[in-house]
Amino acid sequence: MAILIKRPAAIKPSEITDRALYFDRRRFLRASLLSTVGLPALLARPRIASAALTVHELPPGPFSTHETMTPYQDTTTYNNFYEFGTSKGDPSRYAGAMSTNPWTVAVTGACRHPAIYHLEDFIRPYALQERIYRHRCVEAWSMVIPWIGVPLRDILRRCVPSGDARYVEFTTLYDPREMPGQRSDILQWPYLEGLRMDEAMHPLTLLAVGMYGRVLPNQNGAPLRLVVPWKYGFKSIKSIVKIRLVKNQPVTTWMRAVPQRYGFYSNVNPAVDRVPWSQRYERRIGDFFKRKTLMFNGYGPEVAHLYAGMNLAKYY
């Protein structure tokens, strides 16, 4: 097959594809890829995602912010994931050794259909969505990240919770051989987190399997993590292996470790400091100046009704 390559001077303006049409085509092709090839291709976990799209090609999904996204390099090298160490660079340095294929997720507790799923079967019935969310960390830094995943409520409805299911408890993988941070006693392992059922069923709550159009990197919680954008980042538990529906409020890892500082709800609340960090201001990764922290991380219109009548300084 012969391919004609013209010199720039020989190309007529009428022959140049409009930039907007080009990106619309890319978005269409990407949507087709996710719907026809589906999660197995996304979960193939190549070392380098050769077909990954650049950040500005991602179409905003429901609930997405229009704020500038944090560069991919920053979000994958500046992480809290204590299973690999307490330094922000430890996850990207050590998480590559963690095996994520095969991966199973157990759904247990107060539900009609408990089961142990292979990850592909766990996610396959659902259409993947892209959502660009703000994230806030207790250390007064924040990011904006485009996630790929499915609403948690879709999966919970599939298992049919019983009347006793008032909370959802999540458990991270426990494997000190591949997670060197778990060899220390800095926290009690495995890592546990939880949500009230109405929080878990809120449409903002996402189970993510990817970010920036790529498979989720190990250091960001591969292959399956929770994303709850109106709460501090540590609520978004990573590398989930168990989801349990329970009647009583779970005692989460950080509640157990430092109860006077970390409560169950962990909603972003500028008026409640997390000593030694003030929560009134934050610095977006890549910015020089700080900005005021927004109540519920700016998602108040969507979630404030969940906490009507609650003392949010007491239920922190």
Is residue 22 included in any domain, yes or no? yes
Is 26 domain-assigned?
Answer: yes
> HSE (CB half, 13 Å, CA atoms) of 246?
14
Asked if residue 290 belongs to a domain, the reply is no
pTM over 0.95: no
Looking up residue 53, the CATH number of its domain turns out to be 3.90.420.10
Q: What is the DSSP annotation of 169-211?
A: EEEE---TTT-GGGGSSSSPSSPEEEEEHHHHTSTT-EEEEEE
Q: 46 is in which domain, residue-wise?
A: 18-261
Number of domains in the chain: 1
| Residue 122 included in any domain | yes
What CA–CA distance (Å, rounded) separates 201 from 180? 33
CA distance 262 to 266: 7
Amino acid at 301: P
Q: Please report, in tens digits, the pLDDT of each residue of the chain (316 residues total).
A: 443 434 434 434 333 334 343 334 334 334 433 443 344 555 443 322 323 333 344 455 678 898 999 999 999 999 999 999 999 999 999 999 999 999 999 999 999 999 999 999 999 899 898 999 999 999 999 999 999 999 999 999 999 999 999 999 999 999 999 999 999 999 999 999 999 999 999 999 999 999 998 999 999 999 999 999 999 999 999 999 999 999 999 999 999 999 999 999 999 999 998 878 899 999 999 999 999 999 999 999 999 999 999 999 999 9
Which residues are within 8 A (CB) of 171 and not within 5 positions of it... i.e. 6 or more apart? Answer: 190, 191, 192, 237, 240, 241, 242, 243, 244
Residue 314 lies in a domain: no
Residue 96 falls inside a structural domain: yes
> Does some domain include residue 232?
yes
In a domain, 164, yes or no: yes
